[in-house]
Amino acid sequence: MSRNIIAILRGILPEEATAISGVLIEAGITKLEVPLNSPKPLKSITAMAQAFGHDALIGAGTVLSSPDVARVADAGGRLIVSPDCNPDVIIATKAAGLLSYPGAFSPSECFTALRNGADGLKIFPSFLIGPDGLRAIKAVLPEGTPIYAVGGVGANNFKAWLAAGATGFGIGTGLYKPGMNPAEVRACAEQIVTAYDQEFPSVATMTQNPSFV
């Protein structure tokens, strides 16, 4: 089992991608996305996939079109995350054999995503809906739907989101901001992992051969 934390590496540069990814993986965060509005994102994804593809789930965020899905797959990515719910992107993602986590905000978007084959949901921006809003949506979703809260979540509020029904988190600036060095990223990652493991105390002993399902 792996921690349900996706590191959002917006703005990362290809020349630092493997070093930053390495410290995140060493800290216990094994799901990593490079948003496609980062500088030369496909070069970063390629480098990360070549270095850590067997140890981590590498993919892209801010994926807005079917051609983007194909480019990420060619770069070695296996995870597609979007800020919106675009059925064409979901269908293309599943056709390519990749994992699909589209952005959704309303019940209609959540069900549209699931009906088109999404593996889980990215509730975005989470700070606008809040835990109470997620709790209301979760009540009508199929049992066991993976739900990642993204936007305004972090070590200080994991507990509230988990109580509302979130099953994972996407963390951006709480883990990485452009200009941060590997040591700084490591410190942030260790804080996030510690907070996560306090809510899931069994996870720390089950991350040797992570499952990316």
Map out the domains of the chain as residue ranges.
5-205
Compute the average pLDDT of residues 70-82.
Answer: 98
pLDDT at residue number 201:
73
**So which residues are the catalytic ones?**
33, 122
Whether the Cβ atoms of residue 4 and residue 168 lie closer than 8 Å to each other: yes
pLDDT at residue number 212:
43
pLDDT at residue number 202:
56
Distance CA 9, CA 27 (A): 15
Whether the Cβ atoms of residue 31 and residue 56 lie closer than 8 Å to each other: yes
The fold of the 5-205 domain, in CATH, is: TIM Barrel (3.20.20)
The pLDDT tens digits of the residues spanning 166-206 come to: 999 999 999 999 999 999 999 999 999 999 999 887 544 44
Q: Which of 30-44, 86-100, 156-170, 199-213 has the lowest mean pLDDT?
A: 199-213
Tell me phi and psi for residue 103, to 5 degrees.
-80, 140
The pLDDT tens digits of the residues spanning 16-53 come to: 999 999 999 999 999 999 999 999 999 999 999 999 99
pTM: 0.93
